[in-house]
Chains A and B, each alone.
Chain A
Amino acid sequence: MIKKFLLSASIFACIVSYTFCQSEQLVINFTQTLLPGQLTFENPKGSIKVTGYDGEVILVTSMLRFRDTEKKVINGMRRIVQNTPDISAEVNGNNVILLCRTIGKTVDFDIKVPRNFSLKLKSLDNGNVEVTNINGEIEVENTDGDILLENVAGSAVLSSVYGKISAVFREVNPNSPMMFTSFEGDITITFPEKINARLKMKSERGEILSDFDIKPVKRQSVMTNVENTRIYSLEDWIVGSINSEGPEYIIKNYNGDIYLHKR
């Protein structure tokens, strides 16, 4: 299976520019069929920036954040710096998987994809994830850094632990639930004025501020059994709707605030 992946990748992907000291670009030829494509990328260390553009191919630019520039002579020989992150892409149908095998070094990525694209992004360390001008399903997990979505349409499932989340939606998919969670960071979401949604929000130690008029919805009761005793309680969320009932949007954090803006 992996071999098949690599084979197709080697056919479709070719390194266009290859220089020792500047950023490098990987061009992935991608034939978009009726279904939009999906890009999966887990960056072991570093940031990810994905921008939707009018082109057809996927352009991946990678760059070491801390460049090795030491020029010295060892045993009378010149040292050649190795600033070359190990990246490759696997293409299978509509799915594109980008891989970065450089361990230990921080590599920042700038990726351009066609506008109608779904993304599954993860930064494991030391970087922010930025997504701009994309129309599709956006899934981002970034433990340490921020998640920033600008001018996106569709739906998003975002989670961070120490970073803040900021998302500006141009349009939303009226059938998709969404979820935004962070542990320590603020969550700021901007939705179009006319969306219909059911919101479930909770900030354990922060504030919730909203431009929207949120109509409270009755909370559901929960029954738990504790050693022959039944305990009835209401679910511990702020539940409300924007305009009329719609898909459920869950927004939750612990130490940060929640801001809801109208666009």
Chain B
Amino acid sequence: MKRQEIKEKLLDLLHGNLSPEEKEEVMAGLEKSGISRAEIESILSVSQIIDKTPSPEPSEKMDKRFYALIEEEKRKALLGEPEIKPKRSYSVSFLTPGLRIAAGIALFLLGWFASGWLGSVTPAENKQIADLTDEVKLLKETLVLTMMQQSSPVERIKAVNMTGDFDKADNQIIESLMRVLNNDTNNNVRLVALDALIRYSSLPEVREGLIASIGNQTSPLVQLRLAEIMLALNEKRAVPEFQKVLQNAGLNYSVRDKLNEAVVILL
């Protein structure tokens, strides 16, 4: 078999489209050119595995959300805020000074009203930009929420760090940070989530969430940080939770000191 022919049939061989005789011929040809049978077999098995592996489909929810966003944008573009058409320019020559003054006053008045009129259009444009910014934010949020569920702690830390980019986090982000703080398998990830939540500590639900999570923590660094935060927030409602933790005989002595201190100061 010629080299050229072998080349042409290689792809068919990989996809398993050759008859047994043809396969044998190509393999023999390959062997002549110094590729052992074992190597060919291993390449074949890898390609079969790749063929068989189903490529992951984006979830239905994600699809829906994506198309909904596009539809929404299209609809807005169709309805559209009216565009401002360029005004025709008039070239008028006024002869008498009286008319010039009148024209001046008229122009002034026109300017006065025009500024009011234009002023009412600009917010509409601003709104379009704001809508777009909102949608980018929404997409980013979806990304962050997805990343928080990854099995890799590095991805989860990245996701928690990304929440700092939102000026004002919505409930979903806060809820998922809370979930990380209470349920994440890695104590380091919990620690970064806790630090991220401090930004929202003025919200009552975040305060309550932080207090409720005291009992869920086993890492001394997380327990200590919670004590510091509760002290900084002067949060008296944390005292009973700390007292429950203090009943644990195996508690780290440094944490015990800190919690005792927190209880004394807060009470």
Seen from chain A, the residues whose Cβ lies within 8 Å of a Cβ on chain B are: 31, 33-34, 38, 118, 120, 137, 139, 141, 155, 157-159, 161, 176-179, 181, 183, 222, 224-227, 231, 248, 250, 252, 254-255
Contacts and interface: CB of A to CB of B under 8 A. Distances in A.
Interface string B82-102: 000000000000000000000
B234 A227 contact: yes
B191 interface: yes
Contact of A137 (B154, B191, B233): B154
B49 A252 contact: no
Contacts of A224: 198, 201-202, 232-233
B226 to A, nearest CB: 14
A177 B232 contact: no
Nearest to B49: A33
Contacts of A159: 186-188, 219, 221
Contact of A31 (B49, B151, B154, B192): B49
Contacts of B187: 141, 159, 181
A-side interface mostly: strand
A155 B188 CA distance: 14
A177 B157 contact: yes
Contact of A161 (B49, B153, B191, B219): B219
Interface string B182-205: 000011110110000011011000
B36 interface: no
B220 A183 contact: yes
Given A141-B186, A157-B157, A226-B232, 14 more contacts: A33-B53, A139-B153, A155-B154, A159-B188, A161-B219, A176-B158, A177-B154, A179-B153, A181-B221, A183-B220, A222-B199, A226-B234, A254-B220, A254-B254
B152 interface: yes
Contacts of B254: 183, 254-255
A114 to B, nearest CB: 15
B255 to A, nearest CB: 8
Contacts of A161: 219-220, 252
A157 B233 contact: no
A250 B49 CA distance: 40
B38 to A, nearest CB: 13
Given A137-B152, A177-B158, A222 B198 contact: yes
Nearest to B229: A224
Contacts of A181: 187-188, 191, 221
A95 to B, nearest CB: 9
Contacts of B50: 33-34
A52 B122 CA distance: 63
B161 interface: yes
Contacts of A118: 152
A139 B202 contact: no
B3 to A, nearest CB: 29
B224 interface: yes
B238 to A, nearest CB: 13
Nearest to A162: B252
17 contacts: A31-B49, A33-B46, A33-B50, A38-B151, A157-B157, A157-B188, A157-B189, A158-B188, A159-B219, A161-B252, A177-B158, A222-B198, A224-B198, A226-B232, A252-B191, A254-B224, A255-B254
B154 A176 contact: yes
Contacts of B234: 226-227
Contacts of A38: 151
Contacts of A231: 232
10 shortest interchain CB distances as A-B pairs: A225-B202, A179-B188, A157-B153, A183-B220, A176-B154, A159-B188, A177-B157, A226-B234, A139-B153, A159-B187
Contacts of B220: 161, 183, 254
Contacts of B198: 222, 224
B221 A183 contact: yes
Contacts of A183: 220-221, 252, 254
A42 B73 CA distance: 49
A179 B219 contact: no
Contacts of A248: 161
A250 B192 contact: yes
B153 A252 contact: no
Contacts of A155: 154
A157 B192 CA distance: 12
